[in-house]
Structure 1
Amino acid sequence: MVSERYCEYLIQQKPTPANMARVIVLVVLTLGCVIAGLTISQWICIPAVLFGVLLWFAIQKIRQEFEYLLLDHELSVDAIYGHSRRKKIMNCPLKKVVLFAPENSSEYGTYRHQNLVLHDFSTRNPEDTHYAMVCKNESGTIGFRLTPNAEMLELLDYELPRGILIKENIS
């Protein structure tokens, strides 16, 4: 039997300025070592290979996507690096969710001022509406920053107990 309460959503995360700076520095170092290796000494090409490998990993890191999957009363998030490698990074049963609210809501403000570990699985785009999900588990209270679509919010409204999901006021 196929469950009708299924939602899958894929987002592309905007790279951080630190990751972009890391890529630019590695490009400059790689090109500098290649040019120096061709003009000065061939031994300088060895660090160029090392910087090239580090550059490849840095580029994979900035091309990051997240897949939200809501199925059987569980919300899981998979990270997809460089459109090829997939890693499950979060799995939270909906019965352990304490709050699911817009990031700028007053309900989330009470958790924001606590020592809450916040994991960012959002688009990082300031024009998008980001939601904060607070989940209690064995190690304590953990926060997640997500960018769900309307279909996922509708399904969460159905799945979560009353008072846990706070929708943004749309005027």
Structure 2
Amino acid sequence: DVPALVVEYDNEAGAHAVTSHLLGAGHRRIALLGYEPGNTTGEDRLAGFLRALDDHGVPRGDAVLHGTGFGQNHGYEAMRDLLRKADGRPDFTAVFAGDDRAAAAAVVALREYGLRVPEDMSVVGYNDDPVAGDITPGLTTVHIPAEEMGRTAVRRALSGSPRAGQERHVLGTHIVIRDSVRRVRG
């Protein structure tokens, strides 16, 4: 085994938290866009999403899963695909996009179908990229500790080589609440 230093953030906990936020606002049919099967980041986010459904007593079958990858093009195409299949009248009330660029692109696709965020559809993202605060409405998202990851990696690397095997540090995430989620009536 080659010694390795791994500094990452808790994708599953972040996905659980933002999904729980949507569920707490009354959403029960949530579309998950942008997880990528075989990608550990996507799989961890999917696991957190599903665990939140379980924790809130929402059947997993109520979720709409659209695994397409991450990024602007994937988010736009996935949202358009779901809207096309629903004739522009989706039966879900919220979208959790795998990253903020996908979420911003999903907002564009929703607008093209005459749907407003958050009045007609709530949308959340992940990463707290600058686009999340720049678009209207601002996206509720999961903040990842990118700078802290860098500092931790450098600090650990400079302190000497990792023990035999892998040295792993998992950092926390938190939700940034903006204006893209509305409360729905039960």
Structures share a fold, TM > 0.5? no
TM-score w.r.t. length of structure 2:
0.26
Task: Give 1 or 2 for the bigger CA radius of gyration.
Answer: 1
Structure richer in helix, relative to its length: 2
The one of the two structures with greater contact order (alpha-carbon pairs below 8 A, sep at least 6) is 2
TM-score w.r.t. length of structure 1:
0.27
Structure richer in strand, relative to its length: 1
